Amino acid sequence: MNKIIGTSISTKLKFMIVSITFVTLFIASTIIVIIEYKNLESELIANAELNANVIGQYTVNPLLFEDKLGCDDILEKASVINNIVDITIYDTTGTVFSTYSSGRMLKPEQEYKTPVLDKKIYKINGILNIIETIKYEGDKYGFIHLRATYSEINEKIKNYIWAVTAILLFVIIFTFILASSFQKIISKPILNLAKISNEISITGNYNHNLEITSKDELGILYREFRNMITEIKQRTFEKDQKEQQILKLNEELEGKVQQRTLELRNAQERTQELLTISNDLLLNILPESIATRLKQGEKKIADFYEDATVVFIDIVDFTKKAAISDPNEVVDLLNTLYTKLDNLAHKHGLEKIKTIGDCYMAAAGVPVRNANNAAMAANFAVDAMNEIGNYPTSDGTNIQFRCGIDGGPVIAGIIGEKKFIYDLWGATVNTAARMEKSGLAGKIQCSDKFKEKVEKISNENFNFIERGEINIKGIGKMQTYYLDKNP
């Protein structure tokens, strides 16, 4: 008997009930804890913003009259506010005017660091940072940087988790006891039925008296089992006749299987076609090496390039022209121009990064490193300006372009989950964009650093025309040049 009966149904049912109860309560408890944490965090942020605004209003006069002691006194009075780690007041130049620290014990990574004042709310190393502009009647007097700790929230959540864990353990133990009692009620009748079934299979004797004592599901099971024994002999006779029908059905089934196999093969071929289309589409969005890394399962792609060149090409006064043009003509024009630039980028080994409105961005030396990236970018820029410069449009006018180039270190990577984009960041990108914005129509403007780099690594006949020292927004004065190439 023991050889044919493994784990009983009631035992499986018992563990199923306990497991479902545990998983359900665990998931519900986790969701509740997450929601509670989010609520406490929202409350902390709201209070911190309110406190920052109130304290900021009180520091207007000290900032106006440069009363540092008065400002220190205001910050010291604010020390009674819970959760505050420290408060720092900056004047309009970004210089620290006054500061207050609550004296809380902090980890080394939580010590105060000068923030980026254009951020408003952010969390770093378990510390909430609130940055507000101090204004009064429309005038700006400075900034307030308030930092608050999450320690009170964490303590509440820890206590909440302990309470939920205790309740969860109690419910699991109670469910286990209840399921064990249920196991005793159901196991005995089922094991008896299994014993009779075993004897019938060994001896072939169907003369067994099954006593039906209940009207529940087990009683129904016994009754149906008895009816089954009664019908077995009759069904044995019918079995031979049905075997012939089964043989015929098998032949029909084999034909259907062959047909289905063909359908599956066609579906597999179609799937392969769709996979090829998908791969081609991915390669149209991302560089081939980056797409390969994504398909190999790499989740986070971020690379540093010590030496790369970034090129920006922008249509002069395109916004005004687009505002008075037909949308279809605008799209057709941009598609034509960007296609020409794509072909030139491919020709010179550059990677198209993105288009921003009427601005085209490409890079050399990314994602495939190339020591000759500066010359590659210079050739691309010269050819691009020669091919699309003074480009004629359907209304009889010509459009002109500005181009900016800079070279140096960049960071490149993938951002986004639903829609991927491969992008570049860094001072090199910003400088190249500034070179384009501050340039003149029909000109390729570059930095002094890029000029020296090209002249050092390339023996091609490039011509650099000195523009002089100009003021670049966000950077300051820079020596710039216009790039051309002698015939």
pLDDT 10s digits, 293-332: 888 888 889 999 999 999 999 999 888 888 888 888 889 8
pLDDT, one tens digit per residue, over 136-146 is 887 888 888 88
Region at 357 (left for phi over 0; alpha for psi -120 to 50; beta for the rest): left
Which ranges of the chain have pLDDT less than 50?
1-5
In CATH terms, the superfamily for domain 299-485 is: Nucleotide cyclase, GGDEF domain (3.30.70.1230)
Distance (Å, rounded) from C-alpha 447 to C-alpha 453? 10
**Domains of the chain by residue range:** 13-155, 209-285, 299-485
pLDDT at position 4 is: 46
* CB-CB contact of 403 with 445 (8 Å): yes
Please tell me what DSSP assigns to residue 140.
Answer: E
**Assigned fold of 13-155:** Beta-Lactamase (3.30.450)
Task: Say if residues 311 and 413 touch (Cβ distance below 8 Å).
Answer: no
What pLDDT is stored for residue 2 in this prediction?
Answer: 47
**Average pLDDT along the chain:** 82
Give the pLDDT confidence score for residue 478 in this predicted structure. 92
* CA distance linking residue 291 with residue 422, whole number of Å: 10
Beta-strand ranges (E) seen in 109-264 are 121-124, 127-136, 139-149
Distances (CA, A) of 343 to 340, 379, 477: 5, 13, 35
- CB-CB neighbours of 25 under 10 Å: 17
482, 464 in Cβ contact below 8 A?
yes
Taking the C-alpha atoms of residue 365 and residue 305, their distance in angstroms, rounded to an integer, is 8
What is the Cβ-side half-sphere exposure of residue 466, based on CA atoms within 13 angstroms? 5
Chain segment 256-283, per-residue pLDDT in tens = 888 888 888 887 878 677 666 666 666 6
Specify the amino acid at residue 308.
A
Burial class (CB in 10 A: 0-12, 13-18, 19+), 480: buried
Reported as a single tens digit per residue, the pLDDT across 112-158 is 777 767 668 888 877 888 888 888 887 888 888 888 888 778 888 88
pTM of the prediction? 0.46
Q: Token pair for residue 179? A: 């399921």
Say what the pLDDT of residue 3 is.
45
Q: What pLDDT score was predicted for residue 103?
A: 67
- % of the chain with per-residue pLDDT over 90: 25
**pLDDT value at position 283?**
62
Report the Cα 401 to chain-centroid distance in Å: 35
